Structure 1
């Protein structure tokens, strides 16, 4: 490989076009096509990653197995119940601490008032004279080598010099509980998800297909209108009728008249959900190319 740095001005790449496209250079944007084994097949549950038998679709367009979706919502609601109990207990503790602080403040005010009313109150001049006399006596004893600080003053000095003490971080051991949400959230969109928001849909299977998945059962889903195999194409579900079809078939046969080509029933715009390809830790979300950028080293 020949580097032509001398023929390039400024800080341009010293490689030719063919050298830059070669995988031996290992710089620039490298892209590779994701294989089918790295993508979640169409018609597989986004939670259990298995072929769907009883399909439901969320408002965001994610397909689930009904049993897996219901189990997920039940677990999340139980977590929310425990979360709410912890938050309510925290609110009660905060109210109790606030009441104790107010009571303590009121008691101190009462004690100060009784001390003033029960004894002789010195004027400001006399008080300042006594304070100056006490400070002068402390300074004299300090010079002579005596310990003049009381216990409270020693603690204040220790707090100022010992930053590792717990007084520097009084809230370190108190973990605050955040306000819990009202409902469980979707595992993919993050929006609130209720059981009644899940709409039943029908996934049409190709009975003549011989393709087998890891479980060993025939799992090939086709468009309800064109009978074309559904893989990575954009798909649409009509929640009112439960029909799942290609977006191209929907635009051609259903969008104009707003009539389902499978059942003949009319539907509205709110009944149309564009299906999304779910992403997991082991599956891509429908993007068939993965890219990584490596900076140019010249």
Structure 2
């Protein structure tokens, strides 16, 4: 097709290319986007806290959790339930007491009117010559002066860091680096990562690669670490990726359904 044909705007037919272009520009139609690396959690992170696990536990479906995060969630749920129950009991008691107070509303109003009248009665004559003076004003000013004079003063003998005196210049020593830990397969010692499918052996709790399962373990169906007999139920695939807004596994595209532009 020539350049003139691509830019032709005098056609009587609304082409698919024009419809797709206008849909993307106007915000109509289902939009699809591929998720980036930041939207996928690491394989060794808890599904609740999204942080690396220190004391990991796993569900039968292969989802990894931090034991402390689960206990904190259960404790938080119990606390919230206790709060709601306490608020419900308080509301129930308030409803019961309000029904009793309604029957005594006239007596309460009579008491309030009596208090108002009593407060309006002046029991001591007011002296117009001393009403605006504060007898303890001089004393309060004296106490304020004494308290301000007794404020603590910073000692000049304290040694502070100084960037101009060589002996007082703060020094920064180099931090000793430690060898980083890496997750490896319990059998083949291959490095584990987000792109490596992993499987958990139920009897021993060891994490091995799926390749190790297919080539070594499935032949004899024995746990290489504990020697226990394995079944298909004992091989739990470790779920990879996925957060609260991203799918797990290999489905790394997010879709949003929006109104469709009809022509």
TM-score by length of 2: 0.47
Instruction: Please tell me whether Structure 1 or Structure 2 has the larger radius of gyration of its CA atoms.
Output: 2
